[in-house]
Amino acid sequence: MKAGWAIKPLGEICDFQRGLTYAKTDEVEVSNNIVLRANNIDLSTNLLDLSELKYISDSVAVPASKKVKKDSLLICTASGSKSHLGKIAFIDDDYDFAFGGFMGMLTPSADVFPRYLFHLMTSGDYKDFIGALSDGANINNLKFSDLQHFRVPIPPLPEQRRIVAILDAAFDGIATAKANAEQNLQNARALFESHLQKVFTERGGGWVERSLETVVSPGCSLSYGIVQPGDDRPNGLPIVRPTDLTAKLITIDGLKRIDPKLADSYKRTTLQGGDLLLCVRGSTGVISVAAPELAGANVTRGIVPITFEPSILRQDFGYFLMTSEMVQSQIRAKTYGTALMQINIGDLRKIVVAIPPLEMQEVMAAELDRMRSETQRLESLYRQKLAALDALKKSLLHQAFSGQL
């Protein structure tokens, strides 16, 4: 530790106040009593988010001690998600807002600069401390009796202010850079989607519209897969589930394997390799392609394998056709259910697809594939930049509170 710095437990350098408890019947549409809750702290930025406020009746008396104060820290002390437990936001103004019973307020003592403590409580050391409190147990409540033991490195006040000035300036720059990278990421995706949409809305001559069931190969029945895939079996039959559809190409690596006998009555959904795999339960409309090595594998009930009649529709063009807004909008329109979204096979078979001549399909598929690859390359670059910016922020926090900044 740097000379002149002290280390004190959090309980010695700040006061803690638990939030306001109230009855469900106290909640109203609008009033002068506003209560901040866990959702008012953005997990990724640690900023106050006032877009969704809770109001309680004006008849509820709110003590001053239950209202957030400027230069204090709002902390989440209870959550259904451990990742939200202990998250912090800096109170930059006197909002005259209460804070709820699942929240707490930390007020630093005079020898601790509030934003210094705020930055410390967004650092990796603090997150590790909170994680250790609930590690290996279903603990979704944070007690100040535990929180107070967090060790706080405390330099002299002028040094605290210097550190805060550096971090605030650096993090403003990082936030701007992240916003630009995220926007560029969205723009890359939107550009490809716009071009894909244009292909199917600005058609030339020779296009025809047909129902999906009339353009699949004779061996493709547009059917659900195995209802109950059974237990894992080493070296068994590979089975593709909806949760496996996370990339365009699905390979055999990581797939569940089952007793082959369970698929004996489901030959109609045995994969040939190169099939399109359409998710029809849960994340309806998601499309992937079965790698050639999956020939002989099968799918669960949430997936419909699709193989097109090659004299009508190329499989590579069919992938872009099925991911187009023209088809996806029809799938969404026929999807039903609340707890589990799904589409009926009968409705799926009637979906209308637009098909250009075969020679055009080859050219279009090649161009779309080239654009898609370029989009993925750009997305990878922007994701790498975002990861680098997160790493830089983490490094700056570590340097700041170890006396290296």
Domains 6-154 and 208-355 alike in fold:
yes
Pair 1, 153: CB distance under 8 Å? yes
- Short-list 80, 82, 84, 83, CA closest to 137: 82
Residues 228-236, mean pLDDT to the nearest whole number: 85
Average pLDDT, integer, range 190-197: 90
Fold for domain 208-355? Adenine-n6-DNA-methyltransferase TaqI; Chain A, domain 2 (3.90.220)
Architecture field, domain 6-154: Alpha-Beta Complex (3.90)
Q: How confident is the model over 315-322, as a mean pLDDT?
A: 94
Query: Given a cut of 80, is residue 226 above it in pLDDT?
Result: yes
Nearest to 166 by CA among 150, 151, 155: 155
Where in the chain are the domains? 6-154, 156-199+359-405, 208-355
Average pLDDT (321-327) is: 93
281-306: pLDDT as tens digits: 888 899 999 999 999 999 998 999 99
Which residue carries 């603090």 as its tokens? 126
What share of the chain in percent tops pLDDT 70?
98
The tens digit of pLDDT for each residue in 350-400 reads 999 999 999 999 999 999 999 989 998 999 999 999 999 999 999 999 999
Predicted confidence (pLDDT) per residue in 3-51, tens digit: 889 999 999 999 999 999 999 999 999 999 999 999 999 999 999 999 9
User: What is the structure's pLDDT at 134?
Assistant: 66
Tell whether the model's pLDDT for residue 132 goes beyond 90. Answer: no
Give the number of other Cβ atoms within 10 Å of residue 335's Cβ.
Answer: 16
- 222: buried, middle or exposed (CB in 10 Å: 19+, 13-18, 0-12)? buried
